[in-house]
Structure 1
């Protein structure tokens, strides 16, 4: 008998802020496939990653647990194989699981994380145990199954000329059909038509490495957006801001970047996103042809943002501006009848419990995300009051006075980009954000408070303004409560069976 549970498709880009999409107000980039997807579902206007870097964000998303809980506090750490993950649970409950694209969350083996043995190695959350089907992709254009194609290899090699400097960008001379986003579309379509088991529901993570660096695209996408029409964010003067912002500005030579260059890089970034959108149009058309769209929950999101010049910064950094943390979040769910847009706050760790709820599978103990399946079904749902984002490693962050060498200009290829260095992520912080306010607290004593209703671009730091003392202390208290609530519940206490409610019922 055929399994009638819904298919689950998680489409994720890498390093894409919500404001890159027309659905979130972008005036120059059209993404027709995503707009059609939104018509069939709902746009969450306020969705946030839980850490503004790839691996901690993806690792928390797939465990439904915060990065600080699972111990993934840096971009080169992966999920501890002893953690329980979304694809693992779905596979155990009869789903066929697939990863097509970028990983950067699951380990390839159990020898590279914590010392010691996994108690049940066959149950470890490692890449090729939790996914039945794996086709990996790298930044640039390398995709499993096409790594020996001469044109794809040439496209990949050329892309790396844009990789090694802060603002490297350009037009890749390759044909789009030989580039990564297109090949991932082909791989996904082949999986849907030929590789999957049609008797089982599927969970697929379609994970695009773009529009992350290297900033480059083939034609027609490289020239699709006229740089002259690209809007720029307002200038941030760094007044009253944490020193780490100025450090990052200087370490990527952003003090030497003019508006014309910023517009050109943004235009390429937008072209990369349109390339993904056109690929998604092909994928969804194939799903329609196969008759599986109407029984598939589709989520489109990104793992974190890219500042793209906002706050004088490029790429991602150890900070909490919306340009780093506010991600697109579109959900199309079978039978959805609700609003086309909602201001309900969601976090990426909410995906795991929501998908399990939609599949009728119990949510494992220890999951800290909040399912919004009730909302998708039109049932009573209490949204989050706030979201919390974490970042950084223990230690004192670099100060401006510590800078001895840095790139001399945006195309200086001697030092790579600042966010790739571990030093850039030293200095822990936490951010709590409601619809109206954002409070950022850093371990070195720095802080930020933004009135998002009157200062949506986060330019004026109110942290030390006595007018807002009660707002600040209220948010600090909420963050303290969150910290206590978030403390890991695992392992569960099974040592004492006796509890008061049982005793009480015997004596009533």
Structure 2
């Protein structure tokens, strides 16, 4: 029997940390996640490395930044030549599974770059690195249930909320026929019947919610009273990059009132509570099977959703915490440490941490930092800062370039702005400490926020001479980070003479 720990990565899609009571939300209760936190630790400051699905997931599974692996936009997948977490775990005897949304691994043998895969046996392609694959789509389509009439009806109804920026509603389907519940059923079946109990498992339980479409069945759709939902403070865009105003207009947020924003937030919260209730069934099965005490569980999300903050909805090519600050709860066997920590972590840290916990060497080129020593109560030096990247090369759209746009938040003629390639044109990098955040954009724009006195990021000090020293210090750190994180691959094996060998020989 292999006694190495099981590894369970539970990931939601497009969920900001502040949606949970564990991060201060006053109206949404998630008792299952709160119980998970009681036997583990809540990382208060965890961040994605790119505020969009595919780049975030791809960097997470390679432990390498999006700029390193060349996944600089949504719908670009992991280069099959990259070494990935499930690939390494599988090679070292783990049974690997994906249950839910993918949006990271290619599903065929076509390469990321033009040409052919040199070594097909070692390519990081979906069905080669995962032993068990059950995929799900946004809405309610889950492998194994795609022909179920009720699930199909729930899925078709959900698509009515898909096309417009703030489309939302109550799905008439039964919860038992909706995607979140079905993913719970799939996970339970995997644990009980599909996995090899003689092997440790790595499972990516990947919920497509609470990403759009914003809709949920009852009782979740009306579980949260919109009148009690808190609203973020107003942002007047003064001194902010123009891309923020462009997104505000292109999603017709200038026509959305507070009542509408509260309603959408309430549905979003209901979708999260549905996930929490589903996890109750999953964790109960783990208890029944006696595997809870030997399973490392990480709960997180791939990026956030602004949900009205800064006059924006969904995700965008920006670095506000509403887009980048993600929930991060870790329960590990034997953990006896603090229940909360302000140590900074990034999603690229998941790969080296899981490998470390499994006793597997971390591959060359991995840029994340294992926090396994912290979980073991060993000496651990936390990150001084995190870095987040976003955007493609080119000049971002300006307000003067807008000639057509949605007339209101339910106008479905143009789809949502964050789905357009143009919305992600304009590269940027963000460096964030516990006290400050500096965002630098390739077109010369910038933002500097005093997070101690302005945690809502409303007042941009980028051009304020009183903060020149802080800005320069962060720019210097970002420069050093950029040099340090230049790709370490391929390793240099061309020179055979090393001075350290000479010293050792003649010592």
Question: In which range does the TM-score fall when normalised by the shorter chain?
Answer: over 0.9
Q: Which residue of 2 aligns with 1:74?
A: 73
Matches of 1:349 and 1:356, distance apart in 2: 12
CA–CA distance in structure 2, aligned partners of residues 112 and 487 of structure 1: 23
- Residues 414-493 of structure 1 correspond to what in structure 2 (within 5 A)? 414-493=413-492
- Residue 448 of structure 2 aligns to a residue whose secondary structure is strand
Cα distance per residue 1:21-74 (max 9 Å; x no partner): 000000000000000000000000000000000000000000000000000000
- Cα distance in 2 between the residues matched to 1:225 and 1:505: 68
Q: Identify unmatched segments of 5+ residues in structure 1.
A: none
- Using the size of structure 1 for normalisation, the TM-score is 0.99
* Whole-angstrom distance in 1 between the partners of 2:303 and 2:145: 27
Shift of 1:506: 3.2
Match of 2:146 in 1: 147
Any conservation in 1 of the 2:64–2:348 contact (CA below 8 Å)? yes
Q: CA deviation at 1:502?
A: 1.3
Structure 1 distance, partners of 2:346, 2:505, is: 43
3-state DSSP of counterpart to 1:388 = strand
Contact residue 391 and residue 424 of structure 2 kept, 8 A: yes
Structure 2 residue runs of 5 or longer lacking an equivalent are: none
Alpha-carbon distance in structure 2 between the residues aligned to 1:273 and 1:504: 60
Cα offset, 1:110, TM superposition: 2.3
Kept after mapping to 1: 8 A contact 2:79/2:111: no
| Deviation digits for residues 138-159 of structure 1 (CA, Å, limit 9, x no counterpart) | 0000000000000000000000
> How far has the Cα of 1:464 moved from its partner?
0.5
Match runs of 1:222-261 below 5 Å: 222-261=221-260
What are the equivalent positions in structure 2 for 1:342-381 lying under 5 Å apart? 342-381=341-380
**Aligned residue pairs: how many?**
507
Q: Distance in 1 between matches of 2:308 and 2:226?
A: 14
**Does residue 335 of structure 1 match 2:334?**
yes
Shift of 1:285: 0.5
Alpha-carbon deviation of 1:274? 0.1
| C-alpha contact 2:428 2:439 (8 A) present in aligned 1 | yes
1:49-448 equivalences under 5 Å are 49-448=48-447
- Whole-angstrom CA distance in 2 between matches of 1:394 and 1:39: 44
Secondary structure of 1:11's aligned partner: strand
Check conservation: 2:111, 2:117, Cα contact below 8 A.
no
Q: CA offset at residue 119 of structure 1?
A: 2.0
Structure 2 residue matching 1:222: 3-state secondary structure: coil
Matched, 1:7 2:6: yes
1:28-39 aligned within 5 A: 28-39=27-38
Larger CA deviation: 497-506 vs 287-296: 497-506
* C-alpha contact (below 8 Å) 2:294/2:333 kept by paired residues: yes
Q: CA RMSD in A?
A: 0.5
Q: SS of 2:202's equivalent?
A: strand
The equivalent of 1:23 in structure 2 is 22
Q: TM-score, normalised by structure 2?
A: 1.00
Aligned partners of 1:137, 1:301: CA distance in 2, in Å? Answer: 18
The 1-side partners of 2:505 and 2:129 are apart by 46
Please say which of residues 312-321 and 109-118 is displaced more in the overlay: 109-118
In structure 2, C-alpha distance between the alignment counterparts of 1:208 and 1:501, rounded to whole Å: 50
Shift of 1:117: 2.2
Shift of 1:501: 1.4
Tell me by how many angstroms 1:292 deviates.
0.3
Equivalent residues of 2:96, 2:203 under 8 A apart: yes
Q: Using the alignment, how far apart are the partners of 1:471 and 1:79 within structure 2?
A: 36
Q: Distance in 2 between matches of 1:112 and 1:357?
A: 30
Using the alignment, how far apart are the partners of 1:113 and 1:147 within structure 2? 29
Give, in angstroms, the shift of residue 505 of structure 1.
3.0
Measured after TM superposition, the shift of residue 112 of structure 1 is 4.7
Secondary structure of the corresponding residue to residue 205 of structure 2: strand
Deviations, residues 126-174 of structure 1 (Å, cap 9, x unaligned)? 0000000000000000000000000000000000000010000000000
Q: Name the stretch that deviates more: 494-503 or 356-365.
A: 494-503
Residue 115 of structure 1 deviates from its aligned partner by: 1.3
| d(CA) in 1 for partners of 2:496, 2:195 | 45
Please report how far the alpha carbon of residue 120 of structure 1 lies from its aligned counterpart in structure 2 after TM superposition: 1.1
| Aligned-residue offset at 1:109 | 1.3
Q: Following the alignment from structure 1 to structure 2, what is the Cα–Cα distance between the partners of residues 278 and 506?
A: 63
Deviations 1:269-320 (A, max 9, x none): 0000000000001100000000000000000000000000000000000000
Q: CA offsets, 1:194-238, max 9 Å, x none?
A: 000000000000000000000000000000000000000000000
1:125 alignment partner, SS class: coil
Query: Secondary structure at the residue paired with 1:255?
Result: helix
